[in-house]
Amino acid sequence: MDMARSETPFGITGSLDEYSLYRMRGVEKVIVRKKGGPDAKKMKSDKNFVNVRRNNAEFGAAAKAGAEIRWAIQPVTHVAVPFFSGKINTLTTKICRLDETNDWGERQILISKHRHMLEGMNLNSKLVFYSVMRQPVPVEFDRDNGYATVHIPALIPAVNFFVPSQFPLYQFTVSLGVIRDVSFGNEKHELAGNKKYSTEMMRTDWYPSRSEHEAMEIKLQLNNFTKLEEGQTMILAMAIDFGNPSTANIAERIKYAGSGAVIAMG
């Protein structure tokens, strides 16, 4: 389908003949999309659409894997840019194409074998995580017992920690989740493993941005843990939120001002 940005001065949204007009956060102008597409019955069975069906199958698998990633890091996605879902799906599509064993349309998304492709992934391109945190954040995973330990180093402003000057306070959010591979079986793509784990998270207190802070150790444990199967990967992500002091002596988070990244996979 074709997409274009409306140049109309009226900012109209809704349906207009064969077009849909709508707004999207992060885009100043109205988005225009043309309605329609191939007949659904032909798409499912016509031999002329066999390659379309192969593409659709792998697109669906990539979207399923992308949803797994977003679920696993949900506590920190509030700092992500508006088009972050598309960025994740692009990444899972690339992982799908690395499968040289299965045929086109049946290729798998084995994040467990390509976990390095997610490590260090920034959630916000406007304020890159490692432009604020200028020192590695070591993580230790214990797959046998389902927990991870995060070692946040001692922070010294303007040395290894650079908070923009307009933000007086900061806070860390750390999440631990599990991503399942997307395999192919029974003529369709399926998520690996029999158990879906909820994502665990922890938030620190608010700290002054211009003061030094001692090193911190944060341990997160997966709830109701039994075991991790071969196609399951732990993912640890971290967000830095910025805030202003409120009148009630409680900090108020500044929307759309944070930064975050996938710190480690295990």
Say how far apart CA 225 and CA 32 lie, in whole Å: 47
Residue whose tokens read 């998520």 = 191
Query: Residue 140's beta-bridge partner residues?
Result: 149
Query: Residue 245's beta-bridge partner residues?
Result: 251
Residue 154 backbone phi and psi in degrees, to 5: -60, 135
- Amino acid present at 232: Q
Nearest-CA neighbor of 98 among 106, 109, 90?
A: 109
The predicted-structure confidence for 29-60, as pLDDT tens digits, reads as follows 777 766 656 666 665 656 666 788 888 999 99
| pLDDT of 17 over the 70 cut | no
What pLDDT sits at residue 19?
A: 74
Question: Could you tell me the pTM of the whole model?
Answer: 0.82
User: What are the DSSP calls for 97-140, one per residue?
Assistant: HT--SSPTTS--B-GGG-GGGTTT-BS-SSS-HHHHB-S---EE
The predicted-structure confidence for 106-165, as pLDDT tens digits, reads as follows 999 999 999 999 999 999 988 999 999 999 999 999 999 999 999 999 999 999 999 999
